[in-house]
Amino acid sequence: MSQIIGAVTEPTRQTSSCPVCSNRLSPYLHNVTDSVTGRRFDVLKCDACGVGVTDPFPEQLQPHYAGYYGSRHGITANYCSKRRIALVTKMAGMGQGRRLLDVGCGDGTFLRAARARGWKAVGTELNPDSARQLGFDVFSSLEECADLGPFSCVTLWHTLEHMADPRAVIANIRRLVADDGVVFIAVPDFEGFQSKTFGESWLHLDVPRHLYHFTATSIDRMLNQTEFIPVAHWHQEFEYDLIGWLQSALNKVLPTPNVLFDFLSRKKMRGTLMDRIVSGVAMPFFSFISLPLVWLGAFAHQGGTLLVAARTSGRPLAGASGD
């Protein structure tokens, strides 16, 4: 079983069969470029549940995270945390002193929003300093925070796709969740319109940091295998979906990937001056075109992102909606 280190686990093996349902993996995407190192990877796809697997797993992940973090959500950070805590409140209620664990908590923005709603919030993170400066307990692994459980809510906001053994992670979380606990998982949707439209140019493919590329079927199967019951699905995180359409379209026409995304997330700028000019000029035009596509994807359950709520029993969650 791989050790969980914040939002990332060092890969220990490459699998020749699907890690979710053990069916065959087939070639799907070829020569997908890592925007950080320039290395190329393939993506295999399960014939049954549709999960994608980055091939090969890099021997070391750290070089692929150099300069990667920036400001995780850039100018949308507060909007993102407010939307997520509103969803947690709708599904699980106010914290009222109960415990919440955010796996891969980043700079602690969501932990701060959870604390404001009455949760005793802790997190795990590879680089814990920023969140610790806000006064939160942040650990490097699930094992280190196990004594603080059981947790009434566990959140994995775009972290599961970074894990070398996602099913083992969910199984470990199951042991930390209270009997009436709620788990939230958000991932890019590998079977959504964006993924199908842009293929290897899709922003949220993000190889090799995203070791796996999940579908609703694969997430639900993995949850069921680890004694969770999925109770609600959503198919949009607005800012993720919007930038997914914008940047993926630009990736199709520009030689340097993710120029606009790096600017918005306050990362080190790459690319030529022309890349930056084209990205800036195209942003308002592409935004106008992308807005209806964002809502169409959500309505058709084919968005750029997928959110799943699950619990440890079959009782409906208050406010549960979706599929």
Helix axes 216-225, 166-174, angle to 10 degrees: 50
Whether 233 is in a domain gets the answer yes
**Residue with the two structure tokens 């664990």:** 101
Is 15's pLDDT higher than 60? no
Asked if the bond preceding 208 is cis, omega within 30° of 0, the reply is yes
- Does residue 50 fall inside a structural domain? no
The answer as to whether 207 is a domain residue is no
**Contacts (Cβ under 8 Å, ≥6 apart) of 303:** 189, 192, 193, 194, 235, 236, 241, 294, 297
Query: Listing from the earlier edge strand, what are the strands of the sheet with 177-188?
Result: 138-139, 120-124, 99-103, 151-157, 177-188, 305-311, 229-234
> Which tokens sit at 135?
């006064």
Spatial distance between the Cα atoms of 186 and 166, rounded to a whole number of angstroms: 13
Q: What is the DSSP string of 117-182?
A: TT-EEEEE-SS-HHHHHTT--EESSHHHHGGG--EEEEEEES-GGG-SSHHHHHHHHHTTEEEEEE
Within a domain: 257: yes
Question: What's the domain count of the chain?
Answer: 1
Q: Is 50 helix (H, G, I), strand (E, B) or coil?
A: coil
Containing structural domain, residue 283:
71-200+216-323
pLDDT tens for each residue of 118-174: 999 999 998 888 889 999 999 999 999 999 989 999 999 999 999 999 999 999 999
For 206-259, write each residue's pLDDT tens digit.
999 999 999 999 999 999 999 999 999 999 999 999 999 999 999 999 999 999
Rounded CA separation 167/57 (Å): 17
Task: Indicate whether 240 belongs to any domain.
Answer: yes
Omega before 166 cis (within 30°)?
no
What values do phi and psi take at 263, rounded to 5?
A: -65, -45
**Residues 51-105: pLDDT tens digits?**
999 999 888 777 777 665 545 555 678 889 999 999 999 999 999 999 999 999 9
In a domain, 248, yes or no: yes
Alpha-carbon gap, residue 238 to 270, rounded angstroms: 25
In a domain, 314, yes or no: yes
In angstroms, the Cα distances linking 313 to 95, 172, 180 are 20, 17, 7
Would you place residue 4 in the very low, low, confident or very high pLDDT band (cuts 50, 70, 90)? Answer: very low
User: Distance from CA of residue 95 to its chain's centroid?
Assistant: 23
Q: Residue 274 above 80 pLDDT?
A: yes
pLDDT at 96: 96
CA–CA dist 73, 191 (Å, integer):
23
Q: Could you tell me the CATH number of the domain that includes residue 261?
A: 3.40.50.150
CA torsion through residues 73, 76, 80, 81, sign: positive
Closest CA to 207 of 39, 67, 18: 39
Q: Which residue has the higher pLDDT, 322 or 238?
A: 238
- 247 Cβ contact list (under 8 Å, min separation 6): 203, 257, 258, 260, 261
Are 187 and 306 in contact by the 8 Å Cβ rule? The answer is yes
How does strand 99-103 pair with strand 151-157?
parallel
Is there a domain that residue 98 lies in? yes
